[in-house]
Each structure stands twice: as structure tokens, then as C-alpha cells.
Structure 1
Amino acid sequence: MCDELTAADTDRHLSRRQLGAAAGAIGAAVLLPAPANAKPIKGRDVVITTPDGQCDAYFTAPTAGKHPAVLIWPDIMGLRPAFRTMADRLAQSGYAVLVVNQFYRSAKSPIVQPGESFDQPAVRERITPWRAVLTPAAVTSDGKTFVAFLDTQKEVDTKRGIGSAGYCMGGPMVIRTAAASSRIKAGASFHGAGLVNDAPDSPHKLVPQLRGGYLIAIATNDDARNPNDKVALREAFTTAKRPAEIEVYDGAMHGWCVIDSKVYNQPQAERAWGKMLDLFANNLDRHA
């Protein structure tokens, strides 16, 4: 979950040496292996008009041809260099990628400065009210707007489905967008927060409205705190007859997939990334 308990988990499980190494995790980005046959890409900052304002975002795609689109929802610390790097890497694999600042109603990106993290009380106090504005209705509206934006970009192949990936608080945003838009044909949630709750519109209750395949990658410490979530998710996908791979990643803590996270776990992050590429290849790399 994206809260102070997760921050406490992080400090409890990481040694001082690990914390020191993790502080420079963004440097690992330059060590990430390039995709096989990586395509030349070009990125640009964009502004998307929504019913609630102007959303700043980053769009990146191969320099030639049309490609399946992917919408990325960042974690609690929003659009920042780490997510631009991850978006570029996905674009090198042949996708037109949009990563958004979901906090645009409250602040422009980056919403955190170098050295800041959500485990710092002052940062939490600043971001928490911005997160509260992101109601299910707001997220659903934004998701549909972002999908529509992607379909207007010359680099996007509108004959193919769109994928979505979300991290931490972005996990349920993937599900809400996919439930609201028939253009979404695949979704991946990495250490998603709040996928299962008691509300009538809990993300796991929206599974019957989904299309295509899904990947739900769960952190070990999230599973320890909410062991029944994976059970509820599996039951939801099975009942709805929707294909999904739902797995707890052994030893991977909440945030392990993001390259500037203190708990970035490169072997497990690479495995999750490969699963996402397989998901998109199987669901997007063909005409919808």
C-alpha cells in the first residue's frame, strides 16, 4: 500500500548498506539492458485537456511507423525522470507510450524533488490531499480522456488495442480505465495499492467489464498484510473468465519495480518487465 506502514516496512527490512545502495537506484537505469532490436525513439512533453484542467504528460514512441499504445499510471510520487526512462525503454520495444501526471489538478510534475520520498512526513502531508482528489470518478474520466488522446497521435496504430500499466496507486487506475474503455486490451498492475476493498466499485469488482489479458504482480510485504487480496482477485478473474496471471513476487517489497525506489529489486523487476512485454505482445501486437 502507499502509506506510512509501507515506509516502515521498507526501513525494517532494508539494512543500512542496502539503504545506501538504494539511494542511488536511479543510476541503475543506465545499466538496464536495452531491448533486442531496440527501435530509435523520440519523446516529447505534451499537455492534455481534460474536463478538470490541463494534464502535463510525457509521450514517447519509435521514430517510424505506427505502434500499439500504452498508458502508464505512475506511483504515489508521480511523473518524474524514473518514469520517463521506463517509458522510453518500453517505446524501444515498439510501443507508443504515454505516462501521465495524475496529480495535475493539484500540481505540475515533478511533484517530488531529488532526495524526497513518500516515507518523509512532510512529503506525505503534501501529497496526501492531492491523492484524495483522485476519486474513482475522476480517475475513470481521466483514463477515457488519455485513451482518446493516444488515438489522435500519428505514432499510434488505432487498429490495435491499447495496453495500460500502473504502479502502486496506479494499479487500480489501470483497472478503472480498462473497465471504462473498450480500447484497453491488456493491463499490468505492479505492487498495486487498493485493488481489493469493500466498496461497490472496488477494482476487483470491475473485472467482468475488462477485455484481454492481465498481469497482477504483488509485493511480498503487501501480501503479508493483505493475504486474501490475491484470493479475491483470482476468484474475480476466474468467475469472469478473464485471463490473468496473479503472482506474489518472492522477496520483492512494495515499490520494487520502479528504478528510483529504495527497494528496487532489479532481478524481480526485470522478470516483471518481461511478463509485461509478453502480455502486450500477446494482446496488442495484432489487430483488435
Structure 2
Amino acid sequence: MTAVEGNAVDIPTADGTADAYLAHPADGDAHPAVLFYMDAFGLRPQLRAMADRLAGAGYTVLVPNVFYRHGRAPVVGLPEFIDAGSRPQIFQHLGPLMKALTPDRAMRDADAWLRWLADSALVADGPVGVTGYCMGAALALRTAGTFPDRVAAAAGFHGGHLATEGPESPHLVAGDVTAELYFGHADADPGLPPEEQERLEAALTGAGVRHRCEVYAGAHHGYTQADTSAYDPEATERHWEALLGLLRRTL
């Protein structure tokens, strides 16, 4: 694994300034970029550690605080370990933040993230990869469909609400996607019931998108997050294998 450097960075957006974490190989060279979308719990040590691991595989990784309009990370105070009992109280605070991040705002921000990466001396020329977790999976899919000329790969893990019946459902961008996609669904995830999984698969297949959707048997929503009670080490390693394979093929 390559030695990495990680730093806090600020990114100008159309609506202000977003704080973010940037991880990259410590060789000072330009590497392919990966935009890393956080879960609802936000930019914290767990996500920085994941970004570092991804950077160690040879990528320049940007993890923006997508809730920056409400403050710098941590926007909501979190315990060191998030168990099932603490989730309801945390989501009382997170719910309004998630609702305020409309698709229009999220994609206005995505343009800022992608432009910042394109201007960075640490990023190699060419398209980027995107990965997202929980709510970030929807952002990854939407970014791939909104910026098809810039995104070559997008992955989502234990994502929720990817293919709803609503008029702004993320799966509706399928016809605009040119990237290769991968989704690792959590088993029996209330945020992505079987009918949504089927709707997502049908939309991607119908649009001719190169993709693979897999259900991780026995894994709970949030299975990649080691600072939560949902963490599943075996499913997490499977996720790394799938993600790194996707990036190797496309970047």
C-alpha cells in the first residue's frame, strides 16, 4: 500500500465554501481522481480512514462535507461509536439537513467538486470515479447522470431510495449515464426494498448502462462503517474488492 497524505481543504461553491478532506499518494504525482460521497453521519475519522485506504491504492480522493451550508464538519455531534440506540436521536438532527440537500443543490455542488478536482495539480487528466455510501450512493448515481462527460465510474454501497416512485428519483438519470456502475446493496435494507432494487436494475438495463447490482447477504444498512453497529468486516472487504476493480477498469 502506497504512503498517503491527507489534508483539510476548502472548496468554493456557488453557495459558499465547503470544507473537505483530500487524500492522495505521498509521491507528489498526479493520480486519477475519486469523488467520495459521505454517508449521513458525515465527514469524520471513519471516512478519512476509508479515503486514505483508497488513496493508498493510487488515487487522489476528495471527501466533501455535503452539509456545509449548515456548518463545518462535524455538523452534528456524534458518539465515538454509533449504536442502534443512538441512531434515532442523531437522525432527528440529520433529517432536516438531508431534506435540505435537494437534487438541484447537490448537483450544483457536484459541479464544484468536479471543477476543483480538474484544477488540482494532484489529479491526472481524464475522467473521475465516484463512490458513495448510504445517502452518498444516490449522490454518486445522480452525479454520473448529470456529468456523463466527466464521470467514468460510479459505485454506491448500502444506498437508500435509489429508485423511488417520486419525480426526482436518482434512477431516472439512467438514460444519461455513460459511466460503468456498481451497487452493493445491503440485505433486507428498509431504505432499498426489493421493488426499488428491481426498478433500479430495470432502469439501468433498459438504458444500456454497463452495471452490476449485487445484494450482500446478511449485511445491514451501513455495513462499511466501522464506527457503527452495522459494520460487517466481510462485506466491507467485498466492497473494497468491487470498488477497486471498477476503478482499475475505468480510470
TM range (shorter): over 0.9
Displacement of 1:201 = 2.8
Instruction: Count residues with an aligned counterpart.
Output: 246
- The two structures have a TM-score, normalised by structure 1, of 0.82
Q: CA deviation at 1:180?
A: 1.6
Which runs of structure 2 are paired with 1:45-64 in the superposition (5 Å)?
Answer: 45-64=8-27
Alpha-carbon contact 1:96-1:155 (below 8 Å) kept: yes
Greater relative contact order (CA < 8 Å, ≥ 6 in sequence):
1
Is 1:164 equivalent to 2:121 in the alignment?
Answer: no
The structural deviation recorded for 1:224 is: 9.2
Contact 1:116 / 1:123 at 8 angstroms: preserved in 2?
A: no
Whole-Å separation in 2 of the counterparts to 1:229 and 1:191: 13
| Identity within the alignment, % | 36
- How large is the Cα RMSD of the aligned pairs? 1.6
Aligned position for 1:71? 35
Structure 1 partner of 2:69: 105
Q: Equivalent residue of 2:67, what SS?
A: coil
- 1:180 and 2:143 equivalent? no
Answer whether contact 2:54 2:61 (CA < 8 A) is retained: yes
Alpha-carbon distance in structure 1 between the residues aligned to 2:8 and 2:241: 27
Gaps of 5+ in 1: 1-37
Assess, with a 3 A threshold, how the Cα gap between structure 1 residues 225 and 153 changes in structure 2: closer, same or farther. Answer: closer
Confirm or deny: 8 A CA contact 1:171 1:188 kept in the other structure. Answer: yes
Letter aligned with residue 146 of structure 2: A
CA deviations over 1:74-114 (Å, ceiling 9, x no partner): 11100000000000000000000001111100121123333
In our comparison, the structure showing a higher alpha carbon Rg is 1
Give the aligned partner of residue 155 of structure 1.
122
Distance in 1 (CA, whole Å) between partners of 2:42 and 2:173 is 24
Identify the match of residue 263 of structure 1 among 211, 230, 245.
230
What does the per-residue CA deviation read over 1:1-32, in whole Å, with 9 as the maximum and x for residues that have no partner? xxxxxxxxxxxxxxxxxxxxxxxxxxxxxxxx
Alignment partners' CA distance in 2, 1:76 and 1:239: 30
Work out whether 1:81 is the aligned partner of 2:45. Answer: yes
Deviation per CA, 1:100-158: give whole Å up to 9, x if none.
11110012112333346484443222221111110010111111110111111111002
